[in-house]
């Protein structure tokens, strides 16, 4: 399949995560009003580098995070993941690349209350297409690594805020080398 091979080609080079934006613009239309949410942004995020995006309310921070996290595409400009242009990929191709390379931690922990901590961490792992990958084993490894294995059978409303934050982070860090974005 053409879609699958293009995604695999990008993933081969995505071992060391790096994102690069070149002259990125994002424009929305609210009725007849044109909203320039992101205007001519260029930046490079190197492997293992931490960045912060600061700005006032309505300045385009969330839109920029969505573009960096491959949740949205720019109106114009290029987005590169390890030197591969991902700004023109189809939704399916982008989803495949994002699933294998990007994790998100949200301000609200986005844990599902009717699922246990283990089930919440396990949920994104079930979408992995790695051959021989054991989602349950990986979930338990992540819970042990972050010191919340003893809370695996608890529901989110029965754990501390710190444990909820760790659970949420573990949800996002299901890759061997997690590339996580916080919001």
**Residue 101 contacts residue 179 (beta carbons within 8 Å):** yes
Which of residues 179 and 119 earns the better pLDDT score?
119
Sign of CA pseudo-dihedral 16, 127, 119, 160: positive
Q: Which residues contact 110 (CB under 8 A, 6 or more apart)?
A: 168, 171
Q: What is the tens place of the pLDDT at every residue in 64-81?
A: 988 998 889 999 999 998
Q: Which H/E stretch holds residue 10?
A: helix 2-12
- All structural domains of the chain, each given as residue ranges with its CATH number in brackets, are 2-101 (3.40.50.300), 117-182 (no CATH)
pLDDT above 90: percentage of residues in the chain: 18
Read off the pLDDT band of 131 (50, 70, 90).
confident
Whether the model clears a pTM of 0.95, i.e. scores above it, the answer is no
pLDDT of residue 21: 95
**Residue 92 contacts residue 4 (beta carbons within 8 Å):** no
DSSP readout, 14-45?
TSS--EEEEEEEEEEEETTEEEEEEEEEEEEE
Read off the pLDDT band of 15 (50, 70, 90).
very low
Read off the pLDDT band of 49 (50, 70, 90).
confident
């Amino acid at each position: 399949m053409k879609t699958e091979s293009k995604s695999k080609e990008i993933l081969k080079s995505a071992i060391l995560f790096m994102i690069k934006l070149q002259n990125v613009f994002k424009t929305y239309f609210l009725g007849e009003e044109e909203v320039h949410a992101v205007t001519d942004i260029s930046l490079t995020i190197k492997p293992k580098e931490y960045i912060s995006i600061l700005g006032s309310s309505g300045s385009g921070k969330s839109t920029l995070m969505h573009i960096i996290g491959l949740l949205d595409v720019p109106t114009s400009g290029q987005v590169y993941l390890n030197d591969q242009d991902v700004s023109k990929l189809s939704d399916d191709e982008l989803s495949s690349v994002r699933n294998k390379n990007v994790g998100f931690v949200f301000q609200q922990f986005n844990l599902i209350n009717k699922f246990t901590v283990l089930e919440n961490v396990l949920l994104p792992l079930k979408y992995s297409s790695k051959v021989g990958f054991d989602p349950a084993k990986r979930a338990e490894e992540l819970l042990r690594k972050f010191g919340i294995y003893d809370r695996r059978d608890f529901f989110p409303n029965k754990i501390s805020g710190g444990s909820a934050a760790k659970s949420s982070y573990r949800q996002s860090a299901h890759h061997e080398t997690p590339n996580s974005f916080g919001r």
